[in-house]
Amino acid sequence: MGPVCTSCYAAVREHPGACVQCEQQRPLIGFTEAGDGICGPCAGVDLTYACQRCGTSERIFRERLCTRCFATKQLAEALGGDGTTVPRQRQDFYSALSAAGHPRRVAYWLTCDGVSTLLSQLGASHAEFTHQQLDDLPNTPTTRYIRDVLVVAAVLPPRDERLEALPRWADALLAQAPLPQRQLVTPFTHWYLLHRIRRAHRHRPLRASTQHQMRSRLRRALELLDWLDEHGTPLGELTQPELEMWLEEGAVERREVRAFVTWARGRGLVGELVVPRARIAAPSVFTTDEEHAEQLHRCLGDDSLPLDVRTAGALTLLFGLQHTKLLELTVRDVIDDNKMVALNLAGHRLPLPPEVARLVRAQRDQCQARWQLDQTASTTPWLFPGQEPARPLGATYLNLKLRRHGIAPRAGRNNARLALATDLPASVLADFTGTSISNATRWTGYARRDWLDYIASRTRI
Ligand SMILES: [Zn+2]
């Protein structure tokens, strides 16, 4: 038997067993004419290019070891100090990282700032390993990946990462503010904003929209204080007309300052100020029916588009689904009884037409396969997984991705909602699209007011 190329070697390695000649359990490198497996050394094959530890012929990373063996060896050395054995109290930690789905990321993490110090401390102490120790490292995607792996392996307890990230984000922002502002806004942030969020999310995970809103509330408070500083007005002397002028001058997000004003009023820091509610502007971004149909057609039939773009695009264009709702879906929310496919949207079934069902099925199968590989880093099989397997894609990123492929999500969603609102009562529309009743009622209102005529007139202009 002659030398074997790496792909043949990888193929036969799938069948480990006893070598017919030396009778040892080794990776088999080929078969005799009788069909018995034979190991590399007995076959006289040069295994120089295989990993010296596990025999794999996958790409050699360093020191003639594959990535996983190299990462595992480095990890043992860092934990054991002299590289002899991994201390007993760190066996779970070691096993979890050795089995991680992406050994290259583990190998890279080992080279990051502060990691070797952390590992030598862990190796030398019996103290329990905590989230805080990872929090002390720079917050990078690699550290987040390592945390996810350790949580899935139950080495660390699960925690709401979005919620945990908020105080750190807020402190970093406050650190850049002038001292008087910082002194004023720090108690508002910690004792008002964060306190309320923690209380409300003790038993349910924080959603991206709530996280976004909290950030906006803090930013708007700082923005108002900046404006007051520029005008030399102390906060206590801010008048209602001045506040309203500031609100009118800026974007609608400025209304988020309401939380700060309410808090300051409660503490007697401002007078009886009120932030008036903004009128919700009627939607104005629509596409023509032809464009809408063309985009939908591409989502359903264009194989050159990425599958997640086609699936998310079709669901947005047909049902007007919010991206935040779409991104909360897991493969378990795809109800498939072989006859019909439906989506489970917060307890409501959304039946899918056959062509969309085909896309959703394909997307589910693709994610499930990827999740099998990444299970070491995620307990949730997201239908639209992100770069970090424990998290779904970000709403902003999905939006950009759709736009890059010529799908206009906002206009498409508006078109779909309007079409549905003409046919469905608000309560059904709300269930159907996973939007709130008040929002759905607004949409049926728009439809009733012959909005279609309005769009038609707009497109003629
Ligand atoms: Zn190896």
Q: Mind listing the pLDDT tens digit for each residue in 315-343?
A: 999 888 888 888 889 999 999 887 888 88
Residue 68 Cα, ligand 1 centroid: separation in angstroms?
Answer: 6
Q: How far is the CA of 16 from the centre of ligand 1 (A)?
A: 15
Model confidence pLDDT, tens digit, residues 384-437 = 988 777 888 888 889 999 999 999 888 888 888 888 887 777 777 777 676 777
Ligand 1 centroid–CA 42 distance in Å is: 20
Q: Which residues contact 256 (CB under 8 A, 6 or more apart)?
A: 213, 216, 217, 219, 220
String of DSSP letters for 41-86: HHHT---TTS-TTT---SPEEETTEEHHHHHHHHHHHHHHSSSS--
Residues of the chain with pLDDT > 70, as a percent, come to 88
Q: How far away, in angstroms, is 56 Cα from ligand 1 center?
A: 6
Ligand 1 center to 19 CA (angstroms): 20
- Please say if the pLDDT value at position 374 is more than 70: yes
Tens-place pLDDT, residues 139-186: 888 999 999 999 989 999 988 888 888 998 999 999 999 999 999 999
Which residues fall inside 5 Å of ion ligand 1, going by CB? 51, 53-54, 56, 66, 69
- Residue 88 Cα to ligand 1 midpoint, Å, equals 23
Provide the pLDDT for residue 247.
Answer: 92
CA of 58 to the centre of ligand 1 (A): 8
- pLDDT grade for 218, boundaries at 50, 70 and 90: very high
> Could you tell me which residue, 437 or 95, shows the higher pLDDT?
95
59 Cα: distance to centroid of ligand 1 (angstroms)? 9
Distance 75 CA to ligand 1 centre (A): 14
State in Å: Cα 148 to ligand 1 middle: 23
Which tens digit of pLDDT belongs to each residue from 45-73?
A: 656 677 888 877 777 888 888 899 999 99
List the one residue out of 423, 418, 393, 416 whose CA is nearest residue 296.
416
More confident of the two residues 3 and 38? 38
Phi, psi at residue 382, to the nearest 5°? -65, 145
How far does the centroid of ligand 1 lie from the alpha carbon of residue 245, in Å?
67
